[in-house]
Chains A and B, each alone.
Chain A
Amino acid sequence: GAVVSQHPSRVICKSGTSVKIECRSLDFQATTMFWYRQFPKQSLMLMATSNEGSKATYEQGVEKDKFLINHASLTLSTLTVTSAHPEDSSFYICSLQGEGGELFFGEGSRLTVL
């Protein structure tokens, strides 16, 4: 399967600052990548679909201006949480779709906003 790498794995920031999370596809050219959010002891919620060279597609209820997604190349998508607040603290996971329809996930990034 595809290998997906996320960085950083953990980040702590002050309220009001912005944080960027990188998602890299190490062995697969991904025109589409996905960003999920996971609250403690809960399932994954799809936030947005990241499309290489075009605008991301956001799920209903996800603030586009707060969660900026950029997919500048076939191997890199970034999620920037702007003006972060404590309620943005969560586990963010990126993924890409394999040829068989399955998703391959990164290791996840735990964001804590103080």
Chain B
Amino acid sequence: AQSVTQLGSHVSVSEGALVLLRCNYSSSVPPYLFWYVQYPNQGLQLLLKYTSAATLVKGINGFEAEFKKSETSFHLTKPSAHMSDAAEYFCAVSGGGSNYKLTFGKGTLLTVNP
């Protein structure tokens, strides 16, 4: 069984400030972890993924996430927020390999203030 908890349904930052979106997971097997972004009325776009290689994963648009097994966390960060980063962000976990079932967190809405 696996689950994802995203702490904070809404995060608000100023333009240029650090973005930190929190994700904790639970998995009975070594997990694969993902972050997706969703803009209004659109599908989900993959930001980055962790699949048991390097624990610090770099993604698109300047985002990165670090897998911390001891903390069961996979927080998403970006050093400097842009207005275009405003969107809904979802963390997801799967059992890896052919276990295709992704379990999604409830999402975190990021707003960026000018």
Contact = CB atoms under 8 A, between A and B. Distances in A.
Contacts of A32: 100
What is the size category of the interface that chain A forms with chain B? 20 to 34
Interface in A21-65: 32, 34, 41-44, 46, 49
A97 B100 contact: yes
Interface of A: 1, 4, 6, 9, 32, 34, 41-44, 46, 49, 91, 93, 95, 97, 100-108, 110
B73 interface: no
A107 B42 contact: yes
A100 B36 CA distance: 15
Interface residues of B, number: 24
Contacts of A110: 41
Contacts of A42: 106-107
Interface string B7-43: 0000000000000000000000000101010000111
Given A43-B90, A101-B51, A34 B100 contact: yes
Contacts of A46: 101-102
A91 B102 CA distance: 18
A110 B41 CA distance: 8
B104 interface: yes
Contacts of B45: 105
Contact of A101 (B96, B104, B106, B107): B96
- Which of A1, A42, A44 has the most chain B CB atoms closer than 10 A to its own CB? A44
Interface of B: 32, 34, 36, 41-46, 49, 51, 90, 92, 94, 96-97, 99-102, 104-107
B49 A102 contact: yes
A105 B96 contact: no
30 contacts: A9-B41, A32-B100, A34-B100, A43-B90, A43-B104, A43-B106, A43-B107, A44-B44, A44-B104, A93-B43, A95-B43, A100-B49, A101-B94, A101-B97, A101-B99, A101-B100, A102-B32, A102-B49, A103-B44, A103-B46, A103-B92, A103-B100, A103-B102, A104-B46, A105-B36, A105-B44, A107-B42, A107-B43, A108-B41, A110-B41
